[in-house]
Amino acid sequence: MSMELKKRLTIGIILLLLVFITGIAGYKLMGHGKWSLLDSTYMTVITLSTVGYGEVLGDFSNNPMAKIFTIFLILIGIGILTFTISNLTAFLVEGELSNALWRQKMDKKIKKLNDHFIVCGAGDIGILVIDELKRTGRPYVAIDKDPEVVRKFKETNTDVLIIEGDASDDEIMEEAGIKAAHGLACAMGSDQENLFVAVAARFHNPNIRIIAQCTNPADRPKFLKAGVNSVVSAHYIGALRIASELIRPHVVTFLDAMLRDKKKEVRIEEVTVYSNSPLAGKSLKDTTIREKTGLMVLAMRPPDTEDFIYCPLGDEIIPSDGVIVVFGHMEGVEKLKKMIGSPPPKKAILCECPCPEPGNEQEIL
């Protein structure tokens, strides 16, 4: 609902209260003590509501000032009452209508997404994950079951894609586009919720990358066994941060400044070099990545290995289907992705089962 409508509704209610109080006080004063507070209130109500029960105040017909006061009370009061009721109706109708239209628009946008990220839980942790996805230009969908959290999130974020509901619900997962998603973050309040959602997500999309928050270190093996790719412990990260502040404060300050700088989106990013990419199999100096994108190549990782090639020299060959880790502006990362090109088309999976001939479907039961 627009702020202008809220403002008009507030003004209407205040004016209506002022007219109501003025009517009671006016009848009370013009009655010279003869008309009680209840009678004055009753007369004000039936006057503003135009019920027309007639004068209920004694000796009203012989009081010309009371008649003149009632005329102005009707003219002014009816106008303010109409203004307030119309804005109240708009408040109710526009709120429901805008929510319905927003939900329909959001559903259409989500259906168009591919390789997006889903963040389950828009609380203290989830909101930071969402902020980083938004700042680095990654499409995302947020899910939270708290209506108040969803409302605040919608008010503070433009073009937001957020679903109100339980992330463990199959319908909510489908609505968030789980089958087409690239990654999912479980950032809810408890380990039990995160674990359950991780299992549900893996069921819907076997290839999705799942990162889960874990409070209890003893639950880490459960998450990994459930199919979570990586488990993040706030206590572990906090301990590493304290140690880093002690022994390498300038490095920590540099990383903080890099993440918080809203004018320059500088990040350490990873980019996959597909087998059909023109960069695959070439040396770093032949690709001129530095000259064309402004990025620094920090490391490379060949496929099917856990080892990195740190600080690669110009003669180092870029591995096919490998990953290169770069540092620089997000604009440069986008340029590098264009240089790498699109991934090769997925090969169709041939059915090796003994499928029946047409018309003989009953042979295989």
Give residue 273's pLDDT.
94
40 neighbors 118 (Cβ within 8 angstroms): no
265-340, what's its fold?
A: Alpha-Beta Plaits (3.30.70)
Give the 3-state DSSP-derived string for 166-201, with helices as H, strands as E and coil as C. CCCCHHHHHHCCHHHCCEEEECCCCHHHHHHHHHHH
Question: Would you give the DSSP letter of residue 145?
Answer: S
241 neighbors 252 (Cβ within 8 angstroms): yes
Give residue 357's pLDDT.
46
Tell me the two tokens of residue 286: 């032949």
Contacts of residue 357, defined as CB under 8 A and 6 or more positions apart, other chains included, come to: none
Contacts of residue 143, defined as CB under 8 A and 6 or more positions apart, other chains included, come to: 118, 119, 120, 121, 122, 162, 163, 165, 167, 172, 176
CATH 1.10.287.70 maps onto the chain at 3-100
Per-position pLDDT tens, the chain of length 365: 455 667 787 888 899 899 889 988 888 888 777 788 888 888 888 888 777 656 666 677 677 887 888 888 888 888 888 888 887 777 766 665 667 677 788 888 999 999 999 999 988 889 999 989 988 889 999 999 998 888 888 777 767 889 989 998 999 999 999 999 999 999 998 899 999 999 999 999 999 999 999 988 888 999 999 899 999 988 888 898 899 999 999 998 988 888 888 777 899 999 999 989 999 999 999 998 999 999 999 999 999 888 999 999 999 999 999 999 999 999 999 999 999 988 887 654 444 444 444 444 333 22
CATH architecture of 113-232: 3-Layer(aba) Sandwich (3.40)
Domain 3-100 has CATH 3.40.50.300: no
Give residue 365's pLDDT.
27
